[in-house]
Chain A
Amino acid sequence: MEHENQKQKLLSAYELYADALFRHAYVRVRDRARARDFVQEAFIRTWQYFIGGKDADNIRAFLYKTLTNLIIDESRKKRESSLEILHDAGFSPVSDERGPEANAELFRATRAIENIEEPYRTAVIMRYIDDLQPKEIADILGESENTVSVRIHRGVKKLRDTLGS
């Protein structure tokens, strides 16, 4: 049955990629609860895509693409209101005991990554944290492989400068 097949596809993708997607979202938004919401929403959007009778050949790339778009959409909204930034920065009613603060090195690295500006940051996260190949990143972002490689290079340079200083 089509429904069962697609559901199985979604759930096995969840088993395989949920942690990596969560990591990706977390590094970018630095909030566990929001990162989880993003991941959940990415899978739900993917399911809704399936419901529309469509299929994703490369579900991993599809999930990353959806997740990236969700995060970008949200950060655009965020800029509209400084109060929301205040909230998102500190007034979230979610406790976060297992955040990177628990590990000084990780904390430092997360901050260093935050200091890389876009689009280089996304490229670095996808390459070195999500362990995606430049070709895959290019597919997800809709850019050429060459552009992606340049972005990775510049991002890494920036990261080195920050961590080394």
Chain B
Amino acid sequence: MENNLKKLFAKIMMTQEEKSTTKRYLEAFAELHPVRNTDFIRHTLQRSILQRFTLYTRTMPIILAITLLLGGGVSLGAQNSLPGDALYPVKVNINERIRGALTLTSDEARANYQVALVARRLVEAEQVAQDGDINDTVLSRIEANFQRHADNVEERIKQLEAKENFEAAADVNARFENAVRVHEDILRRFAERQADDRDALETLADRARIRGVAAGRIRLALAERFDEETDASRPYAERRMLAAEDRIEDLERLIDSRKGEINDELMRALTSQVELAKKTFAEGETALRGNNALEAARKFNDAWTIANTAMIRLNAEINLRAANASNTASDTVNDTVDTAPIFLRPTIKTQTKVNGTVELKNEIDAQADFSGDLLNQLDALLEDTTRDIETRSQLQAEIQ
């Protein structure tokens, strides 16, 4: 019996993919938390990955049931909900998935939608932090959702790479990296201000950092690939030129449309970013004229990143102010909230070359067949609860 059991159960193992992603995650974790540094780790000890599925999952079955019964009317009201609100799980689990499934067709568009969701989760954390009512449950929920979307993004980047669509992979990866880095920064600034929520915010910032480091590593790997393919480098540089040009224009348009809401200090910071992006762009053009296509592509990518980062910062600022304004309108006690821009920073943080890693999970995609999946889950649920009862009555019989 002994041998049979062992042989039988030897079939249970992680896939190579699962094994290597977990390993890379461990490596990154070890690098981020080196052995000699004892202060940094303390607060992360308290809040573990396990909470991902213990806290956020609680409301899921109820929400599913409600949505099925009401046919989706609930979900309209859910779109602006924040973690802690009753409708928040509807927004995250139903609305966003369905939107992802219905509206997006190309792989790249789907991946970029996931990037947007990652950023949205972090903006939510910032909004909750600004309101000052962040707590462990709220934070764990945001964190779980953040991790889920980030897993999705990383998975999609891998898929794009597997399909040899390296440009799309690099583009999605750059957006992802920018978003997590900028928001990590904002979260840390909130953490500095709010002693009560410091640990919670820093934990989330740490999670964002791990993703940023991983994305940085992918960026370098992809850049090397482009370096190797010198034949294709000129057309590539030209495409990056157009992308950078567009992004700088987007930034200028955004600044222009929000002029009234931007204070002098923020405006100065944004103007300097626009100038820096344009200067870098001009360097790219010079390199391209000098037939140094690789250098040009690099410059255009830098210009794109500068403009994109400034856009993310500006959008975050606008979101935070809007949330703050609606709070103070409905709740006059709340008008002591600090409204100064939290993330002003004159220069863009240069992206560091750190060895990082990716943590991936096989989860259903945003566009997974929801109803079929639900039926299967219900079947499994029935089966498992029956077994649960059987086990219990069996135990009871033995006790008697």
Which residues of A approach B to under 8 Å, CB–CB?
A: 2-3, 6-7, 10-11, 14-15, 18-19, 22-23, 26-27, 32-34, 36-41, 43-45, 47-48, 50-53, 70, 74, 77, 81, 83-95, 98, 100, 103, 105-106, 109, 111, 114-115, 117, 128-129, 131, 156, 160
Known contacts A36-B361, A109-B8: A51-B391 contact under CB 8 Å: no
Interfacial chain A residues near B391, Cβ < 8 Å: 114-115
B50/A86 in contact, CB under 8 A: no
A-facing residues in B18-48 (Cβ within 8 Å): 18-19, 22-23, 25-27, 29-31, 33-38, 41, 44-45, 48
- Can you spell out 13 A-B residue pairs with CB atoms less than 8 angstroms apart? A22-B12, A37-B52, A43-B22, A53-B35, A81-B58, A88-B53, A89-B385, A90-B380, A90-B381, A91-B64, A94-B364, A100-B12, A117-B395
Partner of B33, one of A40, A48, A160: A48
Does B6 lie within 8 Å of A131, measured CB to CB? yes
The CA of A50 and the CA of B148, in the complex, are separated in Å by 28
Chain A contacts of B61 at CB under 8 A?
A: 83, 86-87, 91
CA distance A50 to B36 in the complex (A): 9
Measured between beta carbons, the chain A residues less than 8 angstroms from B380 are 89-90
- B388 interfacial contact with A, CB 8 Å: yes
Interface of A is mostly: helix
Q: Which of B10, B26, B52, B398 has the most CB of A within 10 A?
A: B26
Whether A128 touches B361, Cβ cut-off 8 Å, given contacts A40-B22, A44-B49, A74-B54, is no
Known pairs A87-B58, A93-B363, A109-B5; A51 contacts B37 (CB<8 A) = yes
The 10 A-B pairs with the shortest beta carbon distances in the complex, nearest first, are A90-B381, A89-B384, A90-B380, A3-B35, A87-B57, A90-B377, A128-B5, A129-B9, A23-B12, A19-B13
A47, B33: Cβ atoms closer than 8 Å = yes
Q: Mark B270-284, 1 if CB is under 8 A from A, else 0.
A: 000000000000000
Q: Counting chain B CB atoms within 10 Å of each CB, which of A2, A51, A111 scores highest?
A: A51
Do the beta carbons of B29 and A2 come within 8 Å of each other? no
CB of A47 within 8 A of CB of B9, answer no
Task: State in angstroms the CA–CA spacing of A40 and B21 once bound together.
Answer: 10
A70 to B1, CA, bound (A): 29
Closest residue of B by beta carbon distance from A33 = B361
A90 and B384 contacting across the interface, CB-CB below 8 Å: yes
Contact of B35 among A2, A93, A117, A129 (CB under 8 A): A2
Q: Of A11, A93, A98, which is within 8 A of B15 by CB?
A: A98
| Contact B362–A128 (Cβ < 8 Å) | no
**Do B22 and A39 touch across chains, with their CB atoms under 8 A apart?**
yes
Q: How many angstroms from the CA of A154 to the CA of B41 in the assembled complex?
A: 42
For A26, list chain B residues within 8 Å (CB). Answer: 12
Q: A27-B12, A41-B50 are in contact. List 14 more A-B contacts (CB 8 A).
A: A19-B19, A23-B9, A32-B362, A40-B22, A41-B49, A45-B48, A83-B61, A90-B382, A91-B57, A91-B377, A92-B377, A94-B363, A106-B8, A109-B9
